[in-house]
A and B are shown apart, each in its own frame.
Chain A
Amino acid sequence: MDVRHELAGEHDAVRAGPGAPARPAGGLRRLLRRRSTIAFLMCLPLTLLIAGLVVYPAFYAIYLSMLNRHMTAFVGLGNFAFLLRRPTFQMVIFQSCLFAVTAVVFKALIGFVVAHLMHNIPGRHQRIWRGLLLVPWVIPLALSTLTWWWLFDPSYSAFNWLLNRLGIGSVPWLGEGWIARFSTIAVNVWYGTPFFMVMYLAALKSVPEELYESAAIDGAGPAQKLVYVTLPMLRNIIAITVLFSLIVTFADFDIVRILTAGGPQDMTHVFATYAFQVGIQSGDVPLGAAVSLFMLPILAVAAFFVLRGVSRRSREVAV
């Protein structure tokens, strides 16, 4: 888009530019002075970084995942087949999807509500409210999860103190499978909702006020305004935010690792924590690599749609 426009005039600019005076012969020197060569050199650190520490490890992971435990023999897709047959891993797949989908749905809904509430109050007050609501996002997740762990502590849980006060028995927040699943999801929702709120709020502000006015003149009620004005205008940004959050949530490690380390009975394990346990703690590097690679298809699909949404939005913004 933008880049392509610049590309068009590039070579002419070099020749016409007085900044490049008549140069003596010497192919290498001329090459080094060329605009595109300089640009390429400027991108070289980035290229090396991504090639060496992202692309190479990605392919290396695929190779690793096809070795046996001691990395002495090639086993093809054996690790993947082994994992798929294991009930524990089937549970990991289920829990990863449950964790990501449930958390993203709640983050999206709560974030939408909060953004609307914020949009409702006068602009001069929004700053302080937004500032307070964004605090969960600002504290590093590993640190705030530690606080949640303390809030969920089996014998000192401050939540249980409140519940006991209300005459309700203590809840084993992290001790019982489904409750622990709920707790990890709740922490993720707490952490991620502010991000949705900020994204929606920025998008809400960009919807032209005239659209609402003309909708009101046409007799649209609040629900109709939401369905026929707000949602269509925000559709793209909602899609980008949801998909982006899906990627991040799906790959989450910190919350589950700190709160439960996968327990009880491996019920809260997600791909990242299970890969850590298998690959780093138990030392079965190939199997761990295989576990992480199971994330790849879902991440790739989500990434494709995020990219499409973003380039669409860039076009909209440019117009």
Chain B
Amino acid sequence: MSGAATAAGALPGRPRRRSRTLASQRRWALRASYAALGAFVVTFLVPPFYMLMTSLKTSAEISAERGNPWIVHHPTFANYLYLLTYPNFRTYFLNTAEVTVLVVAITMVVSVLAAFGLARMGFWGSQIMATGVFLTYLVPASLLFIPLFQVIGRLRLINNLWGLVLIYPTLSVPFCTWIMIGYFSSIPKELDEAALCDGATYLQMLWRIFIPVAKPGIIAAMIFAFTVSWGQFLYPMAYLYTSNQMVLTVGIISDLVRADVFAWGKIMAANALAAAPPVLVYVFLMDYYIAGLTAGATKG
């Protein structure tokens, strides 16, 4: 598709017509690309679009089943207003925010320290450990949630947000460490030598030189930890069961879905509000977000 039309005109022996055909074919290829991309974008955005449309409908409009369900006939913000004053939803939102802030903070401290130690200082076995960190990143949540259920139970943290604060870093720290190893390794060695000559300690070196220089990596790692913690579903589903401890992903499902069969307007409004923070982070920090996304394949 891509280079398809561009090269097709490059036939030998017809020098005069070549450039014109080439140009027009290139133009057509471009138009076709835009059309195909447009089709993909429309397809990909169907669920978010429908979510927003439903969130603006009243329960009556949804259950009446008259007219096109894809557009809203009598838009209302009632669902959003309801949620803003609904104490349970506020609890879920604040719980999620609390867990996420703590997890991001813990993740950054642990992974920046470890990445500095592994990438810049090293000790016997640090190479193996860097590999081990990457392997840990490949361990999915669904492999360990049952033994962790027992571990969390023994720590008396079942149905407790602190259980999540304790476990989520296992999902975020390995990848963040990996990103930071990549960024730290790319910093010229002359910088640390200069710092050591000036009598800086290693922690000062990390704080004054490495963290400021590797700021893009820090932001990418923070975004990763944020999205992991905000969207996790399996652990809260397995370990939380009362609404005062729940986070958004499970709270919306267990609270609004069970309560009323026709509460779809409210559910979708809750969905939109819950998805807003990650989407906003993405909108404003897209380049860092994508840098973090593609960092898994290389070191940094």
Q: Please report A residues at the B interface, Cβ cutoff 8 Å.
A: 2-4, 6-7, 10, 13, 17-19, 35-43, 45-47, 49-50, 53-54, 56-58, 60-61, 64, 110, 113-114, 116-121, 127, 129-144, 146-148, 150-151, 153, 156, 158, 161-162, 190, 193-195, 198-199, 202, 212, 216, 219-222, 225-226, 237, 240-241, 244, 247-248, 250-254, 257-258, 271-272, 275-276, 279-280, 285, 288-289, 292-293, 295-296, 299, 302-303, 306-307, 309-310, 313-314, 317
Contact = CB atoms under 8 A, between A and B. Distances in A.
Contact of B37 (A118, A135, A137, A247): A118
The 6 closest A-B pairs by CB, nearest first: A140-B231, A251-B140, A39-B121, A42-B117, A272-B142, A36-B123
Contacts of A3: 118-119, 122, 126-127, 130, 185
Given A139-B275, A295-B143, A317 B298 contact: yes
Nearest to B35: A117
Interface of B: 1-8, 10, 12, 29-30, 33-34, 36-37, 40-41, 44-48, 50-51, 54, 62, 65, 68-70, 109-111, 113-114, 116-124, 126-127, 129-136, 138-151, 166-167, 169-170, 173-174, 177, 185, 193, 196-202, 227, 230-231, 233-234, 237-238, 248-250, 252-253, 264, 267-268, 271, 274-275, 278-279, 282-283, 286, 289-290, 293-294, 296-299
Contacts of B134: 307, 310
16 contacts: A10-B121, A18-B197, A19-B201, A39-B126, A49-B110, A50-B136, A120-B29, A131-B286, A136-B47, A140-B227, A147-B268, A198-B290, A251-B142, A275-B142, A295-B143, A310-B298
Contacts of B34: 121
Contacts of B2: 116-117, 119-120, 222
What is the interface of chain A mostly: helix, strand, loop, or mixed? helix
Given A10-B121, A116-B2, A119-B2, A251 B143 contact: yes
A138 B282 contact: yes
Given A60-B147, A64-B146, A147-B51, A136 B44 contact: yes
Given A2-B185, A146-B271, A202 B294 contact: yes
